[in-house]
Structure formats: C-alpha cells, structure tokens
Structure 1
Amino acid sequence: MYLIVIAWIYVALMMAVAEATHANGSVLGAILTFLMYGVGPVALVVYLMGHPGRRRARQAREAQAAAAAADAASAQPDGGGEAAAHAVAPVRKEP
C-alpha cells in the first residue's frame, strides 16, 4: 500500500513542478495542485485503508480488558463478587 502512496505523491509533485515551471503557471497553482491532487486524496485513502487495522486494535484492547476483568473476578476467594448464600443455617420452630 505504501508503494502506491509514494508513487501517487511523486506524480502529484511532478504535476506541481510542471505547473510552477510552465509559462502560464504560478507557484500558488503548483501548491494547490500538490495539495488537491496529492496530499488530500492520499490522506483520505490512507485513513480509509487503515480502518480495519484500527478496528482490530480496538477489539483486541476490549478483549484484553474483558480478560483482565474476568481474572480479577476469579481471583477473589469465592470466585465472584457476591456474598456466600446461607452462611448460617436458618432457625426453624418445631411444630
């Protein structure tokens, strides 16, 4: 993917150089050509192509946090955060 990005930036740079050195061209036109044909589209494509990687990283962080929470819950003596049920036997009246 980076080869395409580098090639596109090179082509846009060459277009900007041609714009700047042309008899009717200007430096402002060259700068706008480089920004509008080079930097803008490349930034958009790199951002869009990076979306799956960012999603995988986010899911990995969430899974790691869930695993850490499960480990913390299992480290307690009774295996959970609840009080033990019926710790003392209930007292009953005889009939």
Structure 2
Amino acid sequence: MHIIVIAWLYVTVLMALAESSVVAGILTLLFYGLVPTALLLWLFGGPVRRRAARLSQDASRTPSGGGDDKPAQ
C-alpha cells in the first residue's frame, strides 16, 4: 500500500508544480494529495491499530513469570 501512496503523492506534487500560481499549487497539493492520503492511511490503518491494541492488552493480562504456570517458592 505504501507504493501506492508514494506514487499518488508524486503525481500530486507534479500537478502542484504545473499550477499557474503558488496558492493554487499549495491548495492542489493539500486537497488532492495530503488530505486524501491521510484519510486513506487512517482508514486502512484501523485494523492494524486494533490488532496492536489487542496484542498489548493480551500481553498485559498474561503473567510475566517466564512462561511456566507454577508459582515461585
């Protein structure tokens, strides 16, 4: 997915450079490039964030006694 993001940002940078004014170039880069890319990464990153949160929650629940279930004497 990262190669798609890089390619899309490359295209929008070229589009911004082709604009007739600096303001139009900045707005093109912002509204065609950065905002959609951030939205895409946030939406598709949701399952990864949930999985990481679940793994950290599971890790905090398990005892850190070295993997065996016997209590130390």
Category of TM-score, reference length = shorter chain: 0.7 to 0.9
Per the alignment, residue 57 of structure 1 pairs with 52
Distance 1:37 1:11 in 2: 10
Per the alignment, residue 8 of structure 1 pairs with 8
TM-score w.r.t. the length of structure 1 is 0.65
Structure 2 stretches lacking a partner, 5+ long? none
User: Larger RCO: Structure 1 or Structure 2 (Cα < 8 Å, ≥ 6 residues apart)?
Assistant: 2
Structure 1 stretches lacking a partner, 5+ long? 20-24, 78-95
- The structure that is helix-richer by fraction is 2
Instruction: Give aligned pairs, total.
Output: 69
CA RMSD of aligned residues (A): 1.8
What percent identity do the matched residue pairs reach?
43
TM-score w.r.t. the length of structure 2 is 0.83
Instruction: Give the greater-gyration-radius structure (CA).
Output: 1
Distance 2:3 2:29 in 1: 18
